[in-house]
Amino acid sequence: MGIGKDGHLPWHLPSEFQFFVKNVTTVSRPGRMNVVVWGKKCWYSNPEWLFPMANVLHVVLSTTLRTVPDNAHFLCQDFDSAVHLATSPPLSDLVETIWVAGGTRVYKEGLMHPWCDLVYLTDVMGDFDCDVFFPEFDRDVFKVQERFPGVSSEIQEENSIKYKFQVYKKEICDAGETLD
């Protein structure tokens, strides 16, 4: 479940990265936007050429930064503040989806949020030296989907590295409660 090493991805998978960008920039109607929530270290690990992204408002989480980083739109101290920002006027009429781009703490907070209903996870099939890891999550609550629209379930290979896209969906009981 490694996701990083020394501030970078430990693998080079351009097609997988393009899949990420395609997903976070896709909206259902012109004029709508998605919010991507980044931890500070994750934000600064990205190349500047990545920005700006079409249809995306970037929120960086930090308790130490005092100004919004270059190419970001908002700065929040915690995940709940980012969700509140995206779901309150004036953004609430504009924002379609909130995506979480990492790192570990931001993923963990996102997974615990009651509105988190999908987890897009790339299973990179190899041994890599990592110092940052995706948090454990309850796979009795989030169930892998064998088929999901727009997501290939086939094993892919790039740069001699095999990987597979997976989507986990939160299972809901009839009463609207999540499974415990």
Q: Domain spans of the chain? A: 2-170
Quickly tell me which residue has 């308790």 as its tokens: 63
SS3 41: helix
Which pLDDT belongs to residue 41?
95
Q: Active-site residue 16, yes or no?
A: yes
- The pLDDT of residue 176 is above 90: no
For domain 2-170, which architecture applies? Answer: 3-Layer(aba) Sandwich (3.40)
Q: Identify the active-site residue in 13, 16, 111, 121.
A: 16
Which pLDDT belongs to residue 11?
94
Q: Active-site residue 9, yes or no?
A: yes
Residue 172 — pLDDT band, cuts 50, 70, 90? confident
The length of the chain is 180
Residue 180 — pLDDT band, cuts 50, 70, 90? very low
Residues 51, 83: Cα–Cα separation, whole Å: 22
Give the tens place of pLDDT for each residue, 98-148. 999 999 999 999 999 999 999 999 999 999 999 999 999 999 999 999 999
Average pLDDT over residues 47-74: 96
Which pLDDT belongs to residue 85?
98
- The pLDDT of residue 178 is above 60: no
Average pLDDT over residues 21-25: 97
Residues 85, 71: Cα–Cα separation, whole Å: 18
Nearest to residue 43, comparing CAs of 76, 81, 88? 76
Give the tens place of pLDDT for each residue, 65-101. 999 999 999 999 999 999 999 999 999 999 999 999 9
